[in-house]
Chains A and B, each alone.
Chain A
Amino acid sequence: MTSLLRKIEPLLVHLAVLVALAFALYPILWVLSTALSAGGLGAHSGAIPRPHDVTLDNFRTVVGTDRVGGTALFGRQVLSSIVVSLATAVVGVVIATPAAYALARFRFVGARTGERALLATQMFPAVASAVPLYLILDALHLLDTRLGLVLVYASTAVPFAIFQLRGAFETIPVDLEEAAMVDGATRGQAFVRVVLPAARPAIAVTALFCFMSAWNEFILAATLLSRESAFTLPVVLQRYVGEHDAAWGPFAAGAILVSLPVMIFFYVAQRQLVSGLTAGGVKG
């Protein structure tokens, strides 16, 4: 009985994952078939997604081959998106990591209050805070700059990043740093050389989270940026939705294109997930 179970177990695991994969990919096949259909039709046609009159026109529209200078503009917008999202990931992680470490390892005045305040910021729907944010960025001369946008994204992602990283730091044994400090390292050196490598999986997840929050955001980017070449991809895509109708074909094609870099980023980031503790040089 158990030996049989052991034999078919890998099969069962694959089966379960494949079911999940079907659930995850089915709606995306609809998006893909819309993207490949002439006129972007095809959202409503039975159980199996299949494109009408297969064409790459929608992709061409998004990439801008039908406009003078359109491709160059799209290229700059792709670059803008990547720069903003990567910078958000870097800035977010750089800001959150030391703060999370302090919360995990030090006892200090205001720690509990700060922690609660961080949680509280996530509870407040941002329904009336767009105009104040606009005025603050204006006062800091960061309006209409990618730096301003990155700071806004990063600071919005920081609370989650801190909680996530603090949890990870708490699972790392204190002995590791203490051993390093006994060997003559300062607290800062122990943090950078010992703790950070050990927390790499969590840092990768946090970076992915910060990246994603910037990659898909549209309303702030559209409000704060006023040059077309600086627009991020969600703003570009959202332009296909008009007052009366939406150009679903190009929108779907753009959505597919937009998700490709995320998959690549994730594919690279997950190597960090696999390496884990041992890569940090921690043995016994």
Chain B
Amino acid sequence: MRPRLWVLVLVALACALGLANTACEDITARTIVVWHAYRGDEERAIEELASRFEKAHPGTLVELLAVPFEAYPAKLEAAAPHGHGPDVFIDTHGRLGAYRREHVVAPTPPDVADPAQYDTIALDAVSEGGRLFAVPLSTKCVALYYDVDLLPEPPATLEDLVAAKLPEGTLPLAYEANSAYFHAALLSAFGGRLLDDHGAFAFDSDAGVRSLELVHELTAKHAIPAEPSGALVTQLFASKQAAAVIGGPWLRSDLGDKVRYRVAPLPKIARSGELMRPLLTVEGAMLTPHGATRPLAVDFVQFLGSKEAAIVLATVGHQVVARRDAWTDPALAGDPVLGAFHDAVRSSVPMSSSTRMQAAWVPANEAIEKALRGEDPRAALAEARRRFDDATKPPPPPSSPTPALVVLGLVLLAASIQIARRTRLADVKASLPAYRYTAHAVLVVLVLVVVPLLAGAATSLFAGSRDDMRYVGFANYVAILTARGGALLGHGSFYLTLLVTVLWTLLNVTLHVAIGVALGVLLSRPLLKLRAAYRALLVLPWAVPSYVTALAWKGMFHRQFGAVNALLGLVGVHPISWFSRFSTALTANVTTNVWLGFPFMMVVTIGALTSIPKEVLEAAEVDGATRWQRFWRVTLPLLRPALLPAVVLGGIWTFNMFNVVFLVSGGEPDGETDILVSEAYRWAFTRDAQYGYAAAYAVLIFGLLWLITRATRKWQGAGT
């Protein structure tokens, strides 16, 4: 016991030290904090620029922070309004609409950037109402990469490319046909676009129908791969299974020197006679309101927009810079890939920076998926428009908070009277020793768990985005519970999603418990050889970060290139298109989640089994009970107290397990495999930041789970 105790003390000390040295360093007046989401060569370029600026301004410190792309907007929107954010941040112009609304970005002072020095298209993208909100640094759009061994010349039209003579088994083209970002280029060749100038959905036009008919034709002819993803497209091109791919500058670093390729702007579509115009995003250096007040930060932004900086961004970071005069530099002029992308920018269409753009992606993607599966494009687009309009409906009118406050007051009063009547002082006094054991847990959970949750729940009574939150009473709840005026079991309705969620939870929990308990019991056999090794290996699905493994599973369920179909093929099963039907898509999700979750149940079982005194099990053996009887009559009942919390909480967590559904099926087909919590996340993060509506979903989920657990308790109580 003694030595172990020492180890514990040492560990605790080490932890304490590790925690102690984290006190915030003083941010001096000569420090500029800069956030970005760059990695690889682009990160090296910004680091180089930071050190050059530090050299030019002695005593200055540029503190760079690389934030993961997925956490970037959330972190910025949490920090900047409270003065904790950066002085300068680099982001795409597409988010400017949201950032202006959240007061994350301030206008760039007019003398910082000389308009004559930048590409007009880039400058326009970062301006609004005659004011500049960023210094444009680089531009990104897609172009055509073609393998020069297979295609000596860039094709003049898409039709030429599809008809090109290629070796057996080589696809003419690979691109993410199921993504609206890529499809926008085809759409533009027919004269269409996703959003019009007023932020209304414009995909449901004749142009939209014709573009969808074209992609369906391409897939049916096997000219492009089915179920494409970024990783698949890269791999097909790198392994010469595709002669050309549509991709952005980012593809360059993934390809390395595996293929000999050139880049050209996207070709024309012969049947419309027009060029495919890709969507353009402009990356710019933006100032936070705090940063805009600091001359040093403004200087740094000005430096990032200079010719010198542009050359570093282009040569080190391989970026298509927006600064015009940088392109006369020999290093840039000698880079054909960069030059091709610069040409492609000229025929591109800047992405809308309206916050409504966010709400357009999911319906547009769903319409494209349907068309790829062969459904009627016109109906698919009409449905997409309905979903877009529904998600962007103006918030309900504000209502007076008085009735709710009165009700709340009365409820609180009644509750406190009830508590005061039921508890006697003597009981409380007798409870004092117990409170000594529980006080710290109560305090921590109250402050860091309950209060944030209650604050979250309170937002469900509000509507609109964060800066014009208005009180709307129970309007959000009414809208959800009436399926927003649609059919009660219609697409995406609360009740239909609830049924899917219940099915999802039951399947998962049953399999988790069955597999976990079975393995736990097997691995607790005292005489089993290699027991420790088995145990350590079987926790791996829990140990490896689930983001990677969930995506590995998604890849394994790919129709054409996935391992699951390859394995099934060995026993003669025809390839299954896993994500095109509800039943198979749910199977894929459940398989992944069972894989992720069984080790937890196994570990809990092993832990619980070791707590059971061996004498009890031995006594049953002496009684002559068979193994099977011993398991059901002795082991399982003894496991129950330890397993029950794991099963109840496991069920609750599965009910709210958003990641696996999001990463594996992504709701496919057509949102049918979405569960309630993914619906909540969609309202918060992909439908114009409607936090109030999302919070109402969360409260309803909470209410449902509460009722379900209460009902199970009652039912269990009656059973025993």
Contacts and interface: CB of A to CB of B under 8 A. Distances in A.
Given A95-B441, A263-B540, A121 B427 contact: no
Contacts of A127: 456, 677, 680-681, 684, 691, 694-695, 697-698
Given A83-B14, A109-B431, A150-B19, A226 B444 contact: no
Contact of A274 (B14, B232, B450, B610): B610
A120 B706 contact: yes
A39 B256 contact: yes
Nearest to B538: A24
A4 to B, nearest CB: 15
A245 B230 CA distance: 6
A101 B438 CA distance: 9
A272 B608 CA distance: 12
Contacts of B560: 44
A144 B24 contact: yes
A183 interface: no
Contact of A124 (B18, B248, B599, B698): B698
A155 B449 contact: yes
Main secondary structure of the interface of A (DSSP, over half): helix
Main secondary structure of the interface of B (DSSP, over half): helix
A246 B92 CA distance: 17
A244 B67 CA distance: 15
Nearest to B560: A44
A51 interface: no
A143 interface: yes
Contacts of A49: 563
A30 interface: yes
B540 A44 contact: no
B435 interface: yes
Interface string A37-65: 01111111111010010000000000000
Nearest to B710: A116
B570 A47 contact: yes
A43 B545 contact: no
A9 to B, nearest CB: 9
A168 to B, nearest CB: 6
Contacts of B681: 127
Nearest to B677: A125
Contacts of B437: 98-99, 101-102, 106
Interface string A186-215: 010000000000110110110011001000
Given A106-B437, A222-B67, A136 B447 contact: yes
Q: Which of B460, B552, B606 has the most CB of A within 10 A?
A: B552
B22 interface: yes
A279 B540 CA distance: 28
A164 B19 contact: no
A243 B94 CA distance: 12
B66 A21 contact: no
B544 A164 contact: no
A125 B453 CA distance: 8
A240 B40 CA distance: 9
Interface stretch (B265-273, B328-336, B639-647): B639-647
Interface string A160-203: 10111011101110000000000000010000000000110110
Contacts of B697: 125, 127
Contacts of A80: 18
A13 interface: yes
B137 to A, nearest CB: 15
A106 B431 contact: yes
Contacts of B652: 119, 122-123
Contacts of A239: 37, 39, 66-69
B428 interface: yes
Given A205-B607, A234-B545, A138 B82 contact: yes
A138 B67 contact: no
Nearest to B613: A277
B545 A259 contact: yes
A108 B23 contact: no
B540 A259 contact: yes
A7 interface: no
B156 interface: no
Interface in A10-51: 10, 13-14, 16-17, 20-21, 23-28, 30-31, 34, 38-47, 49
A67 B47 CA distance: 11
Contact of B251 (A109, A155, A245): A245
A129 B455 contact: yes
A17 B522 contact: yes
A120 B702 contact: yes
B563 A47 contact: yes
B534 A126 contact: no
B65 A132 contact: no
A124 B210 CA distance: 45
A244 B230 contact: yes
Question: Which interface class (under 10, 10 to 19, 20 to 34, 35 or more) fits A?
Answer: 35 or more
Nearest to A27: B552
A74 interface: no
Contacts of B441: 95-96, 98-99, 158, 162
Given A39-B258, A98-B438, A244-B250, A30 B528 contact: no
A101 to B, nearest CB: 6
B379 interface: no
Contacts of A126: 452-453, 456, 698
B519 interface: yes
A256 B603 contact: no
B433 interface: yes
B15 to A, nearest CB: 4
Q: Which of A27, A155, A159 has the most CB of B within 10 A?
A: A27
Interface string B625-664: 0000000000000100110111011001100101000000
Given A24-B538, A95-B444, A129-B452, A259 B603 contact: no
B427 to A, nearest CB: 5
A169 B70 CA distance: 42
B709 A119 contact: yes
B84 A226 contact: yes
Interface stretch (B73-81, B199-207, B315-323, B359-367): B73-81
A187 B560 CA distance: 65
A44 B24 contact: no
B589 to A, nearest CB: 14
Q: Which of A23, A98, A125, A170 has the most CB of B within 10 A?
A: A125
Contact of B37 (A110, A170, A242, A245): A242
Closest 7 pairs between A and B when the two form their complex, measured CB to CB: A44-B561, A108-B431, A163-B645, A222-B71, A128-B456, A83-B18, A132-B455
8 contacts: A39-B254, A126-B453, A144-B22, A151-B448, A222-B68, A262-B539, A263-B543, A266-B603
Given A127-B698, A202-B608, 15 more contacts: A31-B549, A95-B444, A99-B438, A126-B453, A127-B684, A128-B459, A132-B456, A136-B447, A158-B444, A162-B441, A202-B611, A208-B603, A218-B547, A241-B70, A245-B250
